[in-house]
Structure 1
Amino acid sequence: MTQVQTSRLTSTAYLLLGVLLIAISLRSPITGVGPLLDLIREQLHLSATQAGMLTTLPLLAFAFFSPLASKLAQKKGLEHALMISLFLLLTGITIRSQGSSISLFTGTLIIGAGIAIANVLLPSLMKRDFPNRVTTITSIYVLMMGVGSALSASLAIPLTHVAESLSIKLIPTWAFSLGSIILFPIIAILIWLPQMRNHTPAAENTSKLDSHSYLWRSPSAWHITLFLALNSFLMYIFISWFPTILVDTGYSHEQAGVIHGLLQLFTAVPAIVLIPIISRIQDKRLLSLGLTLLGMIAVIGLILAPSLAILWAMLFGFGAGGGFILALAFISLRTTDIHQAATLSGMAQCLGYLLAATGPIIMGAIHEYSGSWTPPLILCAVANLLWSIFSLLASRSEKIHKQPKQSFQSI
């Protein structure tokens, strides 16, 4: 192996490591909130609806900043734009950990902006630098997101005990716990620094949303968008409220945090399973439907037999994690070029996260009104049924053409 080849291999390995460390930072700042929600509500006197906003705010930021991410990348380059996203995460986590209501919501919004930029730009970077391994790298990327999520969720309550044992008085114990996750973006920034020597324009990979306006009239584009949207709708409801549901059904806060962490960990398991087989499966409809049905079984099981919450957590995590991988894969597999893929990604993420943003608020409001978790979980079951229907539509094999034969009304 020549010195040039060795240098390129090292550079590629460092780039991939940077991408994976960014991925760890993308969901962990959100999943750590769920296990601490009761403690935060008690100390800051928040209603259930206000508490739901802690998960909703990042999703609104995802929807708002996703279309702006491509403009940032075109102006600054992919590498610099991703560094900006990491600094936004760092800033948001710092502000959120000050311990007041204002800092909590302000920091959460800034965190959402940082995640939104990386959410849009990382798939473009992977499509640019790993064009022949998009599915494999995407699966590993989702795996790392799941690992970060699991660590954040399962360590949330133990970290409050650490704060108590250290007699930390400047900030509440929940703020210390949420602030500890700052290690992820700090490490990612240090690893990403060598990429700052590059200033790669991303115009080819992150085209403007309106440059393929026909996608808004394409039934296939809407099928993929709604498949991702319903996946996110259900996932962020569970990220926000699952620990509280468990506590209200008799689990301790520590047990709820561990089970919530298990759910997050199982969102990563499909990445391991799907890496060797997803590219070999030509017709992905059965796989897609099966993953959504796992989610349906888990939601119904949680209603009927909450004592088996560990099982339902694993099933739901596997189904939701696998569905997310497939949604990202469909964006690449069903588009004809990089421009179209980037546009569909922006459309799906913008609208998908707008729908997902309503989930935690609706869930909290229904629970507050009914005094029970059964009605909101029934809503989740209905949403899961719709998700199953769109899994069959989104996983068709035909490409999205520039002038779709079908009209929007034919969805």
Structure 2
Amino acid sequence: MTRASWTVFLVALCLRPAITVVGPMLPQISAAEGLAETTAGILGAVPLLAFAAVSPQVHRLSSRYGIERTVLVSLLVLAVGGVVRSYTGDAGLWLGTVIIGCAIAVGNVLVPAIVKRDFAAQVSRATGVYTAFLTIAASLASAVAVPIAGLADWRLSLAVWSGLALVVAGVWFPRTKSDSSETPRVSATESGSVWRQGHAWLLTAFMGLQSTTFYIMVTWLPTIEVAGGVSQRTAGVHLFLYQGMGIVGGLVIPLLLRRTGTRVAGAVLSSVPLVVAVAGLLTVPSLAVLWVIVAGWGQGAALVAALTLISIGGRTSGETTRLSGMAQSLGYLLAAGGPVLAGVLADRTGSWTASLVALAVLALLQATAALAAALGDRRREPLPALSAQS
């Protein structure tokens, strides 16, 4: 591990703001573009569909061009996508969102592999730091979205994060010089093997349900609160608080995940808070701030739990890349339906109650999948060792 290894956490800063900034801006975007709740939900789902489509192909790109170079290109494409989404008209709103989703998908898959490679002796701790950076940027984007829009408009509020991607690309560039010697190679024996592993499917279910519940909350929490009489600015602050508490959960949960004996408890404890929080939003909405805090802690912890189980599930960085690609591809395909489902239910019923009930059911399924994935990790039979070049 070198000092340059820590720059991977800067990449994490770019992997959520372009998405989480949309939630607080959705009322303004919908008004400006004439989007109904269902259509707005589809807009929120587009990046997830891009994740699902691109994730399985990332290992091919990284094997051909190198991990570091692939990450650099994804950062540059992300910056371009942010500008296209904001400033190229109605069609650009959708095209830019697709570009953003494709670029972020690359980082989603490769960063866990880089963490496993560069921090092999402390994967759960490094994953906690990675998700802390991820969540800090995501929550900051949510908090400043409305103030920036107040100074200019919603287009600048969305586009400003392209600048961050360009800065990080500049910092990342020196790493590409030694890329050819660090690219993970995948043997023919390893190729495609994760799709035949039952444990990989459990991890995919956990990752998918965690992503589904997270993106429902990020996309619709401000709109739900505004519909309940909360100001748009306050709703944006609540979304910031939700994601900010994820930092705490993400940094605390590795204490349980680092040991095999406590990993099951850690996975379950990371998912139960969301069940409690959604039940609270349904039954005691006056305590919304409390439920936002509880949900945020749980979502941050659940993300670290899912990524940690994925990182330790691969025997090499190459296999981890494939496992991450599978879990994120199918997982985000499942997650893409979440914001759309919530929007459709709100459209059909005229309120957000049915959407919250659906979220509660998904939260229960997430907790069940977390338990199954952690038990599967503990019971998993060791696989034949691969060579260091595989």
What TM-score do the two structures reach when normalised by structure 1? 0.88
Supply the AA of the counterpart residue of 1:225: T
What fraction of aligned residue pairs are identical, expressed as a percent?
A: 35
Question: 1:32-89, CA deviations, whole angstroms, 9 ceiling, x for partnerless residues?
Answer: 0000101110111011111112221111111111111111111111111000110111
The answer on 1:399 being equivalent to 2:380 is yes
Match of 1:134 in 2: 123
Q: Which runs of 4+ in 1 moved over 4 A?
A: 205-210, 335-339, 400-403
Which range moves more in the overlay, 309-318 or 330-339?
330-339
The whole-number CA distance in structure 1 between the counterparts of 2:250 and 2:118 is: 20
Match of 1:177 in 2: 157
Contact 2:204 2:331 survives alignment (8 Å): yes
Contact 1:95 1:107 survives alignment (8 Å): yes
**7, 12, 16: which one aligns with 1:23:** 12
Deviation at 1:335, TM superposition (A): 4.2
Contact 2:24 2:235 survives alignment (8 Å): yes
Supply the AA of the counterpart residue of 1:285: V
Deviation at 1:291, TM superposition (A): 2.1
Structure 1 205/63 Cα, relative in aligned 2: closer, same or farther at 3 Å?
A: farther
Q: Radius of gyration: which is bigger?
A: 1
**65, 68, 71: which one aligns with 2:54:** 65
Question: 1:337-382, CA deviations, whole angstroms, 9 ceiling, x for partnerless residues?
Answer: 4444332221111100000011111110111011111111111111
Which range moves more in the overlay, 229-238 or 132-141?
132-141
The whole-number CA distance in structure 2 between the counterparts of 1:223 and 1:385 is: 15
Structure 1 217/233 Cα, relative in aligned 2: closer, same or farther at 3 Å?
A: same
Match of 2:44 in 1: 55
Contact 1:70 1:206 survives alignment (8 Å): no
Supply the AA of the counterpart residue of 2:294: L
Unmatched tracts of structure 1, length 5 or more: 1-8, 164-172, 404-411
Deviation at 1:201, TM superposition (A): 5.7
Secondary structure in 2 aligned to 1:46?
coil
**339, 346, 350: which one aligns with 1:360:** 339
The answer on 1:161 being equivalent to 2:150 is yes
The whole-number CA distance in structure 2 between the counterparts of 1:101 and 1:275 is: 43
Supply the AA of the counterpart residue of 2:175: Q
Deviation at 1:260, TM superposition (A): 0.5
Which range moves more in the overlay, 49-58 or 256-265?
49-58
Match of 2:267 in 1: 288
Structure 1 180/337 Cα, relative in aligned 2: closer, same or farther at 3 Å?
A: closer
Deviation at 1:281, TM superposition (A): 5.8
The whole-number CA distance in structure 2 between the counterparts of 1:196 and 1:73 is: 12
Deviation at 1:206, TM superposition (A): 6.3
The whole-number CA distance in structure 1 between the counterparts of 2:223 and 2:199 is: 37
| Count of residue pairs brought into register by the alignment | 382
Contact 1:206 1:342 survives alignment (8 Å): no
The whole-number CA distance in structure 1 between the counterparts of 2:258 and 2:221 is: 33
The whole-number CA distance in structure 2 between the counterparts of 1:136 and 1:77 is: 25
Unmatched tracts of structure 2, length 5 or more: 385-390
The whole-number CA distance in structure 1 between the counterparts of 2:45 and 2:143 is: 21
The whole-number CA distance in structure 2 between the counterparts of 1:110 and 1:391 is: 31
Supply the AA of the counterpart residue of 1:157: V
Match of 1:168 in 2: none
Match of 2:27 in 1: 38
Match of 1:349 in 2: 328
Match of 2:280 in 1: 301
Contact 1:73 1:206 survives alignment (8 Å): no
The answer on 1:332 being equivalent to 2:311 is yes
The whole-number CA distance in structure 1 between the counterparts of 2:102 and 2:260 is: 36
Deviation at 1:130, TM superposition (A): 2.1
What TM-score do the two structures reach when normalised by structure 2? 0.92
The whole-number CA distance in structure 1 between the counterparts of 2:102 and 2:281 is: 33
Which range moves more in the overlay, 296-305 or 22-31?
296-305
The whole-number CA distance in structure 1 between the counterparts of 2:181 and 2:336 is: 31
**260, 263, 267: which one aligns with 2:239:** 260
Contact 1:37 1:51 survives alignment (8 Å): yes
Supply the AA of the counterpart residue of 2:351: S
Mapping of 1:196-211 within 5 angstroms? 196-200=176-180, 204=184, 211=191
Deviation at 1:283, TM superposition (A): 2.9
Contact 1:293 1:388 survives alignment (8 Å): yes
The alignment's C-alpha RMSD in Å is 2.0
Supply the AA of the counterpart residue of 1:263: Y
Contact 1:36 1:156 survives alignment (8 Å): yes
The whole-number CA distance in structure 2 between the counterparts of 1:84 and 1:99 is: 22
Match of 1:407 in 2: none
